[in-house]
Amino acid sequence: MKGNISTKAGDKGTTGIGGGQRVDKDDIRIECLGELDEANSTIGLLRSKLDAQHDWEEGLQRIQTEMMNLMSHVATPSTSERKPQVPLPLDSAEWMETWLNKIEESLSSTTEYFLLPGGNEVAALCHVSRTQVRRAERRLVTLNKLDPVEPCILKFINRLSDLLFKLARQELERNGISEERWRLFRRNRKPTDGAEN
């Protein structure tokens, strides 16, 4: 059958990665790819809830595309002679920072709190995506200890989780929905707090 997606090559618990190698399906590299794929899929679900003319649409489409590109790089060991033919997100962190600043300027309150995720469906999906991106970031840090991950990829993922948090806040404010606040952010924590940045 033409176009059959099932190759049966993974029936014994291994899968192919960039450069032609095969690894176990629970390899840390595959874990990273799975987490990134899940986050990207949820961003796709988020986009499906927005009007085609929504002002987030172009940015979220770019993020999804760049996530697919960076997954190609994550899938390829640094020692591989066959490098991905798609670009790295070299300037994406800066681009997302610009978007973050615009959101910040649009909000009536810039005082930030830990929030109870929710409010409406779009904001809740932003938070689901944010937590998935954070999980992907943790797995990438583990991979980076074993095989270097491009710094721009780690930076991209860190900024993306920040952006998704801000988008959730913007969505609620635009719709006149009050945030359910838990506790004020304390920026001057001692390093031993262990909070993520």
CB 113 within 8 A of CB 184: yes
Q: Is the pLDDT of residue 14 over 70?
A: no
CA nearest 70: which of 165, 158, 168?
A: 158
Q: Could you give the CA distance from residue 25 to residue 30 in angstroms, rounded to a whole number?
A: 6
Task: Please give the span between the terminal C-alpha atoms of the chain, in angstroms, as a whole number.
Answer: 49
Question: Which pair of structure tokens corresponds to residue 80?
Answer: 């591989």
pLDDT tens column, 168-196: 999 999 999 988 787 777 665 554 444 45
CA angle 17, 156, 140 (to 5 degrees): 45
Return the domain boundaries, the chain: 25-76+89-100+116-182
Q: Could you give the CA distance from residue 140 to residue 153 in angstroms, rounded to a whole number?
A: 9
Q: What is 25-76+89-100+116-182's CATH superfamily? A: Cobalamin adenosyltransferase-like (1.20.1200.10)
Query: How far is Cα of residue 193 from the mean position of the Cα atoms in its chain?
Result: 24
Helix (H, G, I), strand (E, B) or coil at 28: helix
pLDDT tens column, 19-72: 557 655 668 999 999 999 999 999 999 999 999 999 999 999 999 999 999 999
Q: Could you give the CA distance from residue 71 to residue 13 in angstroms, rounded to a whole number?
A: 21
CA nearest 73: which of 56, 89, 62?
A: 89
Q: Is the pLDDT of residue 94 over 80?
A: yes
Higher pLDDT, 172 or 13: 172
